Structure 1
């Protein structure tokens, strides 16, 4: 089949996928599986190979993603239920002082966003944001907007979140390098979120009536927060649960970079630095430390961990379906055709990665779908470009930042943020959409700078 025909099928498959998800409200898992079948038939893939190709795509992706997402969800759920999020936010506020409450909440949000999914983490912090805003006599958007912005930035580029982990599995990106790069860039983005949110808040925004009523009824928030803080785990415990797995992963990456292949120390560091082992250690510590602090028995601990799995199951299935779609794109020759066409444009691959991801994010709303689909489209170009592990990680992070921008009405996160902060749709577009786009562009700019430095 000609290159033009393959590219046409590829473009048509993306358009159909978007129509199914956006226009006809088909579940993302079903939509991607259906489109994968149609692409396989349209490109003339032998009928005896179709099912095996789909199974290989699902298995190859879930082999790493399912375990990481499940463990990350369990860790985040235990931190949530124990009151560790409130403890973390209150401690950061004490350290930075009451005049720097927005900065303290944003810093706490960045740390909390590493193990906790965006929507869950933001909802956990909403009562804390309300409490501090009520004490300061300001609109919740003043403190809540930068908190939400940095949490979403971490969600799209820092493992173990599903989009970036699934994308890394497709392009064979190194999770350690992706973690290091993603966290390093999110730190200055946290400061930028403060600046941009402050500029956006230079004018007042009226609260929606329902949110205003909810905010007004939040009368005992300070006493409640203090009560929870007394029984919550210490901030040192929460920080340890977050930083220990990160330290293990970074140790494995450092060993793989500095030590020769076959070195026994490199093998040991590679084992303890594998994301699965690192998260297993964190979950085990959380079971002991948080369970002891809260007085959970074994049944209670197991129930809390199990409650994290139903939401994670949907994420895992969607991520796996993204792997199926990516596998079909590769096996059908569409990926190779796109790779050749992109090479002919002479545009930098890192720029194309960002633009494609941003376009998909704007079109269908899901950051996870945008990351995984873009990685599937560019997998051949990345594999055949002779890129180093560090460069592949930078390309993957660029895709992640593409999925950060242009959050609007087709994104569930848009509605979570605007409703809890009391913003109308128009005001949400003027604030939240602008903030996510600025953070996405800035994150990509820093990623591109690192790309130039290591090229």
Structure 2
């Protein structure tokens, strides 16, 4: 007996994707079935409906689940350990006091966001958010008000840097495909990212924070009353700043050297480059930082080894749900990617005949909404517009960069339930699915629209110059 499978046309794949998202929302919001179970159920049904062969059903499901867990589980687990030690040692409070003394309570959200923009230059979105969480939580408790006032601007800061600015992989990959100058992409990417963050992250985030009250989650709170008392040491400000900057510096070794290799300054074949890049891999950087935190906040303070073990162990339980739900979100997105819906939609849109600048944004946005992954959306759109861009001598250097930024804007558009980052934010902020759709999904859509508008300005201004002038 042969395996049952079938191939659906583009409209059929789109119908399956829309139905799958609708069923998922009904299961979670109406029937109140746990998000982890709902995502698995819908992933299985979607794979069958889309015609994925039964022999490939489990590999497809596990591939999407494991692919996300391979990156997220280590980051969340190590980040939670670091955050736990910063929180109950009193380190988060020390840094909070310093921030408020410098910027004032009214500017606390702005201070957190500026720090996140700086941290977000070399650090990926999920890793940066995990590292900043204990500071965000402590500031929110200290100053008061909705968690959204502090968390949304900071998370958006990480998001815009990850999407628009090299050395993050998305814009670097798109730059390579389209032949854009990476250094110029970095400069103009910052000019697009910062105003986009201010409009969406800070202004819109403040608007949300004043209308939607979210209490601070208890993810990093002590479960056993004795742990917090025994481990507290009120470390110096310099110690906490070192622990926050250490992963930043280590990760910059990786992203900075990748950028340098792309620019032709170093070779990735050199042993010293490979060693430094390995130290700068995000999980390794966080692991090194956790060990330093155990030393500076624990052993150096005379804390017993058993106490330190209990502290780091107590960080893992509360984040297990986050890890599993995020992995299930990756499973759902992986199933949608396996159906080929992203490529099918992109091919159809490419035949519409829109101007290349607009077409690239639309393709990236639709692929992002359809299958969830911003990186897949960006690289898919870049690959499709590549022949047009490379074969057109009329595009000057700045116009090509503007096209890269337009694709990046489309790739961040309206992240929702098929995006693992959606579930990461939802659980870390303590939001239900409906609230996350109203806040984070809308915010991500605005990030795309505002970024595209600013990239359009760059494109239009650069079009006034002849091809050889820029």
TM over 0.5: yes
Cα distance change, pair 320–385 in 1 and its aligned pair in 2 (3 A): farther
Name 1:385's counterpart in structure 2. 384
C-alpha contact 2:196 2:451 (8 A) present in aligned 1: yes
Instruction: Give the secondary-structure state (helix, strand or coil) at the position aligned to 1:56.
Output: helix
Shift of 1:195: 7.3
- 2:79 equivalent to 1:72: yes
1:104-183 matched pairs, under 5 angstroms: 104=111, 107=114, 114-116=128-130, 121-130=135-144, 140=145, 147-154=150-157, 156=159
Name 2:258's counterpart in structure 1. 253
Cα distance change, pair 200–33 in 1 and its aligned pair in 2 (3 A): closer
Instruction: Give the secondary-structure state (helix, strand or coil) at the position aligned to 1:11.
Output: helix
1:182-331 matched pairs, under 5 angstroms: 196=203, 231=235, 233-234=237-238, 235-257=240-262, 258=264, 259-292=266-299, 294-331=301-338
C-alpha contact 2:298 2:308 (8 A) present in aligned 1: yes
Name 1:365's counterpart in structure 2. none
Selected match of 1:63 from 70, 78, 92: 70
- 2:32 equivalent to 1:25: yes
TM-score, scaled to structure 2: 0.62
Shift of 1:286: 1.5
C-alpha distance in 1 between matches for 2:275 and 2:211: 57
C-alpha distance in 1 between matches for 2:92 and 2:118: 10
Shift of 1:110: 6.2
C-alpha contact 1:255 1:266 (8 A) present in aligned 2: no
C-alpha contact 1:93 1:105 (8 A) present in aligned 2: no
C-alpha distance in 1 between matches for 2:55 and 2:453: 45
C-alpha contact 2:85 2:312 (8 A) present in aligned 1: yes
- Write the deviation string for residues 42-98 of structure 1: whole angstroms up to 9, x where unpaired: 123222221122122222332223222222222222222222222223223444578
After superposition, the CA RMSD in angstroms is 5.1
Cα distance change, pair 392–147 in 1 and its aligned pair in 2 (3 A): same
- Write the deviation string for residues 364-385 of structure 1: whole angstroms up to 9, x where unpaired: xxxxxx9x73549848835853
C-alpha distance in 2 between matches for 1:260 and 1:108: 32
User: Which runs of 5 or more structure 2 residues have no equivalent in the other structure?
Assistant: 1-6, 121-127, 163-167, 177-181, 216-231, 391-400, 417-424, 463-469
Cα distance change, pair 321–433 in 1 and its aligned pair in 2 (3 A): closer
Instruction: Give the secondary-structure state (helix, strand or coil) at the position aligned to 1:116.
Output: helix
Larger helix percent: 1
C-alpha contact 1:255 1:270 (8 A) present in aligned 2: no
TM-score, scaled to structure 1: 0.64
Cα distance change, pair 85–384 in 1 and its aligned pair in 2 (3 A): same
Shift of 1:11: 2.0
Higher relative contact order (CA 8 A, sep 6+): 1
C-alpha distance in 1 between matches for 2:141 and 2:50: 52
Cα distance change, pair 91–325 in 1 and its aligned pair in 2 (3 A): same
- Write the deviation string for residues 155-214 of structure 1: whole angstroms up to 9, x where unpaired: 64678xxxxx9x98xx9999xx9xx9999977666765897389969xxx8999xx9xxx
Count of residue correspondences: 382
User: Which runs of 5 or more structure 1 residues have no equivalent in the other structure?
Assistant: 131-139, 160-164, 212-227, 361-369, 405-410, 418-424
Instruction: Give the secondary-structure state (helix, strand or coil) at the position aligned to 1:153.
Output: helix
Instruction: Give the secondary-structure state (helix, strand or coil) at the position aligned to 1:348.
Output: helix
C-alpha distance in 2 between matches for 1:261 and 1:108: 30
C-alpha contact 2:95 2:237 (8 A) present in aligned 1: no
